[in-house]
Structure 1
Amino acid sequence: MRFINLIVVHCSATRCDRSYTEHDLTTDHLCRGFSGAGYHYYIRKNGDIKSLRPVESPGAHARGYNANSIGICYEGGLDEHGRAADTRTPFQKHSLRVLVMLLLRDYPGSCVCGHRDLSPDLNHNGEVEPEEWIKECPCFDAATILQEVPPPNPAYL
């Protein structure tokens, strides 16, 4: 078993008004030369969590961090006009929260971050600030997932 100390949250960078299945994601990654989907988990708009890559295998989602991380991607991340936005549905918020809680139980002490937070600290002040982000993904502060107010139970919406 590999050593895990980082859980990295991504968005698929697809428009919220369009469907982007786990098959679409895997096909796109294969076309880019990957051996399969680069993420370990994919969360669809309806909250379904799809397992795409065994956790025992390094991902292909965050260059320089894949060896010790688990990659989670949620469907969306762009609004209907193609602009970066937190497009998570209540179902996705719920599933992401539960998945992160379970992974932290399996890998205690791991840090949770967004892909954007792994951008280089260009001004060397010890903090990666918004103007330094290579990309905005996942369009929200992933480190605070467990501090967010839990969304309403989707089963009762």
Structure 2
Amino acid sequence: MRKIKHIVIHCTATVEGKSFSASDIDRWHKERGWKGIGYHYIIGLDGTIEEGRAENKIGAHVKRHNRHSVGIAYIGGLNKRLSPKDTRTRKQKRALKELLITLKRKYPQAIILGHRDFSEDLNRNGIIEPFEFSKACPCFDARKEYRNL
């Protein structure tokens, strides 16, 4: 059993309103030379939760932090001009919260973070600030939004 320290939320960096599945992401990741889908869970536009990589397997979603994390991605994250945007539908928000509650019961010590929260602290002040984000993903402040779960 893996010791889970983080539950990491991602977006797929796809345009809002365009539907994709775990099998699409699996194909994309294989095309990049990976073994397969790197996320453990995918949340579709309609709130459907699909399993990606088996939860007991090490993911491929946050460099240097995969061994002790579970990765969740929601479909979306870009507006029509391809700029970062929180595109989660109401159904995605509801499904994500329910999944996080389930995972927190299973891994009560795990901290919920967004992918961007793993950026380097460039000014070494102990806080990853917006100007330091190497990625916008998941395009909202997951740490703040889910701090009370």
Which bin holds the TM-score, normalised by the shorter protein? over 0.9
Which residue of structure 2 aligns with residue 155 of structure 1?
none
**Pairwise CA distance, 1:107:** 0.3
Which residue of structure 2 aligns with residue 11 of structure 1?
11
The alignment covers a number of residue pairs equal to 148
Q: What 5-or-longer segments of structure 2 have no aligned partner?
A: none
Tell me the amino acid that sits aligned with residue 2 of structure 1: R
Residues 18-77 of structure 1 show CA distances to partners (whole Å, capped at 9, x for unaligned) of 222222111000011111100000000000000011111010000010000000000000
SS in 2 for 1:56: coil
Which residue of structure 2 aligns with residue 41 of structure 1?
41
**Pairwise CA distance, 1:145:** 3.4
Which residue of structure 1 aligns with residue 58 of structure 2?
58
Tell me the amino acid that sits aligned with residue 128 of structure 1: I
Structure 1-normalised TM-score?
A: 0.91
RMSD: 1.2
| Aligned counterparts of 1:68 and 1:43: Cα–Cα separation in 2 | 21
| Aligned counterparts of 1:145 and 1:47: Cα–Cα separation in 2 | 18
Which residue of structure 2 aligns with residue 139 of structure 1?
139
Structure 2-normalised TM-score?
A: 0.96
Tell me the amino acid that sits aligned with residue 146 of structure 1: Y
Q: % of aligned pairs identical?
A: 45
Tell me which stretches of 4 or more aligned residues in structure 1 moved more than 6 Å: none
8 Å contact from structure 1 (residues 17, 79) kept in 2? no
> Mapping of 1:1-157 within 5 angstroms?
1-146=1-146
**Pairwise CA distance, 1:147:** 5.9
